[in-house]
Amino acid sequence: MLTEPVLEKRPARNYAAIRKTVRMEDIPAVLPPLVPKVYRWLAERGIASDGPCFFLYHAMRHDVLEVEVGVPVQKAITGDAVVRPGVFPEGTYAVITYTGDYANLKDAHMKLESWLAGKGIPEKKYTAPDSVTWGGRTEFYITDPDTEPDSTRWITDVVFLLEQG
């Protein structure tokens, strides 16, 4: 199930994340195990999370993606060789909420892309003949599958940073 997209003005937001290069078909096996690693890293340093975990998609070339798996935090952190600091920039974001199994999240991305195109609102991204780089394309996993085993009830916010005009 998908909600109607909305536009939201959001403040800058700090996060801690692990960056990974992954083939699209390997996402389910490679990225989810990084989530507990980020939480563990934060806990070892006494840093509290400040929101749901996320996958931030930076770029795609063919079917290979550059992704950060992370968790929002209240203030800037100092990273290390494993976990790095980051900031979601202040700006206007397009948001759609998807309820269901992660296998169908592509539908949310496609609906949000189509909605933006229909309204003539540009997403912040850079395209080349064989690649795309996004300014802020993120999936926030609102529901924790460890506490809600029914995948039809998983809630995910898909969020695109928009070009600032």
Q: How many CA atoms lie within 13 A of 82 on its CB side?
A: 9
Superfamily of domain 6-161: Regulatory factor, effector binding domain (3.20.80.10)
State how far the Cα of 11 lies from the Cα of 110, in Å rounded to an integer: 25
- Provide the mean pLDDT of the chain: 95
Give tens-digit pLDDT for 88-131: 999 999 999 999 999 899 999 999 999 999 999 999 999 998 99
Kind and range of the H or E run holding 133: strand 131-141
Contact present, 91 and 140 (Cβ < 8 Å): no
pLDDT-derived band at 164 (thresholds 50, 70, 90) equals confident
Residues forming beta bridges with residue 64, ordered by sequence position: 23, 61
The whole-number average pLDDT for the span 83-90 is 96
DSSP 75-116: S-----SS-EEEEEPSEEEEEEEEES-GGGHHHHHHHHHHHH
Phi and psi dihedrals of 82, rounded to 5?
A: -105, -55
- The reported pTM is 0.95
Give tens-digit pLDDT for 54-77: 999 999 998 899 999 999 999 999
Q: What is the pLDDT of residue 165?
A: 54
Residues forming beta bridges with residue 139, ordered by sequence position: 55, 158
pLDDT-derived band at 139 (thresholds 50, 70, 90) equals very high
